[in-house]
Amino acid sequence: MFVCPVIELQAGRCVSLRHGLLDQPEIWHVDPVAKAAAFADAGAERVHVTDLDAVAGTGTNRDLIARIIRETPLSVQVAGGIRTRERVSEWLDQGASRVVVGTAAVLDPAMLHAAAKYHPDAVLLAVDVHQGRVMSRGWRETSAFDPVAFVGHFDSAPLAGIIVTDIDADMGDADATLSLVHQVADATRLPVIASGMVRGLDDISRLKYAGCVAGALVGRALFRRRIDLGEALAVAGARTERRAEFI
């Protein structure tokens, strides 16, 4: 299992959101490019960067993200406001390793199928869930989709994977979140990446030994220094001992 650090950008600043609320960011007074470089120094090979201004439709952090792509050795997967095939292509042409599509998958599923076909293994589907339903438009609109049924619509697409974010995880119900991740993983052949549920090393261990996820995105816990990235990478990458089978 891999661990991927997360940088969320709003007005050029690193922030974290609680319950997906765009108007209540927790602001971190660090330089985003320097922070990404620090993640690389700690052993990370990739970083997930979300442009929250693009999500809200109020602006863009495009130049800052481009700097992270150019100035660090990390593979950068870009998320936020990517709702056309052209925008997917633009980010990949700029050097992003992967592009994340969420709202467009709800509003225009044909676009996601086309983007994945045109860029196989370079597009990730983001499934943001609140109270058992898939959310869109920056976690502000509730769709009618059940997450398990929703991911089934894209199982034939050559996607790089599915990122599952349980917005309710901020409420502290880790068992329910892990159950959701299990359900999605059981319903798809695609790799599943858990997001929003890691608050400490124990959560990484639980995901690893559950055996149902390919990786975990970790953001706020790193910025709050509740997790050391080097330790998290070690826990996630440790070999799992085989258990003896008894009859």
Residue 196, pLDDT score: 85
Q: How many domains does the chain have?
A: 1
Residue 62 lies in a domain: yes
Residue 21, pLDDT score: 79
Residue 247 lies in a domain: no
Residue 197, pLDDT score: 86
Residue 107 lies in a domain: yes
What CATH number does the domain containing 55 carry?
A: 3.20.20.70
The active-site residue, picked from 51, 128, 168, 203, is: 128
Residue 10 lies in a domain: yes
- Give pLDDT < 70 ranges for the chain: 169-175, 240-247
128 classed as catalytic: yes
Residues 6, 48: contact at Cβ < 8 Å?
yes
Can you give the residue range of the structural domain that contains 208? 2-237
Please give the Cα distance from 145 to 164 (Å, whole number): 14
Residue 170, pLDDT score: 59
Q: Backbone phi, then psi, for 11, in 5-degree steps?
A: 55, 40
Residue 12 lies in a domain: yes
Residue 243 lies in a domain: no
Residue 27 lies in a domain: yes
pLDDT in tens, 46-100: 999 999 999 999 999 999 999 999 999 999 999 999 999 999 999 999 999 999 9
For residue 213, give every residue at least 6 positions away whose Cβ sits within 8 Å of its Cβ, in sequence order, or none. Answer: 1, 181, 185, 191, 192, 193, 194, 207
pTM score, whole prediction: 0.92
Residue 247, pLDDT score: 39
Residues 32, 245: contact at Cβ < 8 Å?
no
Residue 59 lies in a domain: yes
Residue 45, pLDDT score: 97
